[in-house]
Structure 1
């Protein structure tokens, strides 16, 4: 499968480019970016072509991997799907539900495969744990804490305009939901949403299985307090999300495996664009709750 990379930022350089270049089932064909000089530099590093025109890249590949801000990603993903290209996308799929639905609908109409890279879902130990817990009945409640220090450290993502604007809800919220939804079922209702320090938010969710979950999300945690934890409690006791022993590149390699399999078989992956839509819808609802809470307190 010939695949092109859209994006040249820190995430494209740290995860996407090495994963695409090192995958035995992919032919890493080229790079397009909003900054031509950055696309040229990244393309030279991997010995591939830099494209000035995204449509020229789309004309010469079978699939695209997108490492761009969500609002930019959504529009380009629709364009790529309409060109008949399979989609390896990043989370969140979009920051508006209508834009996310447009991606999923374009992929369905074109009959192309899609996979959204929710990192935890493609790491070995967490993925196995999620499958085991999803097969276990009787979960009563869950607690998820996804605490990043992007804005309190020297993170390469600290200058990201969309993260500055949308905060933890949209950056790490998708990770938490990607773990909770397959275990506890879809979210029937956002019961509560409240602001914490800086960009920190707290959510209470009601799930289709009857379980409830609480989420604490932040990109402004002190570095010493950063980390991700998920705890489930139910009839079988207590279960904790295991730490992963591997980084983003092996996980993204598995996401590419999933895209290849879905493209070959025609069977959708659990983390396809439709799942990305549902995550976006839940986050959009939570955002509206937070806006309402802010207006009341004002």
Structure 2
């Protein structure tokens, strides 16, 4: 995919609240890409979303692949993975959502398809692309000397009084906070502390899980993840402590601008041929860590 007078064409797979509120607005306004069309499992929703942004609705997903240089996917992870394999085989670069899949086998199939087709991939872990947090993560990784970290990601999707469109998501209801917000926390911790070498996990109230991780840097981290916290207790933070003192994750801004930065990252990777640090292979590693934690919870 080269950038010239004709902007790269990016299609969107998905019509849910995340696609409608984040992906579609960012694609429609992006100065370096053309919003080529929308496909969804509900054709009427795809037609409505496409009309709202002046693009084309597709009933046939393979026809959308044929009309695109790249696709952005906003679908449940285990719907996303096989469609990503098909898109890569059609020559489309991939802008994927987290988690890549909820099985290691599914994630490996995406990575294999990307490698076979020679396409670029980016997994949209929001904090790796947000204006406030991207430079902070790089700075902490360069600083080093971290002794321990604590990540706390508390949402209230399933709490009394909460009103979120994401609460109706079947896959979130089944897989819980570990798979939904766990990737966010891990996407910050791994580039700073290194890969995970050991995992301990236990359950809390509702879908709450607590993880204790050891990293290749020899630092340890703890994660508290929940989608069923009381409304007054919600919030997200990552705190690092080490030889440089204490560092806390700053505010990161909005999803639309973060997704636009992820689009830039994919376009740059496709143009230069250089893998992005947050690519499908990184998404596979997140899936492996989450699957290991899930296994520990079952044990």
TM-score, normalisation: structure 1: 0.96
Q: CA deviation at 1:137?
A: 2.2
Runs of 4+ in 1 over 2 A off after TM superposition: none
1:169 aligned onto 2:178 = yes
- Matched with 1:138 is 145
- Out of 197, 203, 212, the position equivalent to 1:195 is 203
Q: CA deviation at 1:86?
A: 0.3
CA contact (8 A) 2:144 2:192 kept: no
SS in 1 for 2:217: coil
CA distance in 2, matches of 1:224, 1:19: 30
* 1:149-168 superposed matches below 5 A: 149-152=156-159, 153-168=162-177
Q: CA RMSD in A?
A: 0.7
Count residues in correspondence: 290
Deviations 1:240-278 (A, max 9, x none): 11112x200000000000000000000011100000000
Q: CA deviation at 1:101?
A: 1.1
CA distance in 2, matches of 1:151, 1:64: 31
Deviations 1:6-50 (A, max 9, x none): 000000000000000000111101100001111111111112111
SS in 2 for 1:120: helix
Gaps of 5+ in 1: 293-298
Q: CA deviation at 1:223?
A: 1.6
Gaps of 5+ in 2: 1-7
CA contact (8 A) 2:150 2:240 kept: yes
SS in 1 for 2:175: helix
- Matched with 2:194 is 185
Deviations 1:92-131 (A, max 9, x none): 0000011111101111111111000000111112111111
- Out of 79, 82, 90, the position equivalent to 2:86 is 79
1:227 aligned onto 2:241 = no
Is 218-227 or 74-83 further displaced after alignment?
A: 218-227
CA distance in 1, matches of 2:244, 2:40: 49
SS in 2 for 1:263: helix
CA distance in 2, matches of 1:125, 1:7: 27
- Matched with 2:273 is 266
Q: CA deviation at 1:210?
A: 0.2
CA distance in 1, matches of 2:18, 2:144: 37
1:237 aligned onto 2:245 = yes
- Out of 64, 84, 87, the position equivalent to 1:57 is 64
Deviations 1:181-208 (A, max 9, x none): 0000000111x10000100000000100
CA distance in 1, matches of 2:9, 2:205: 45
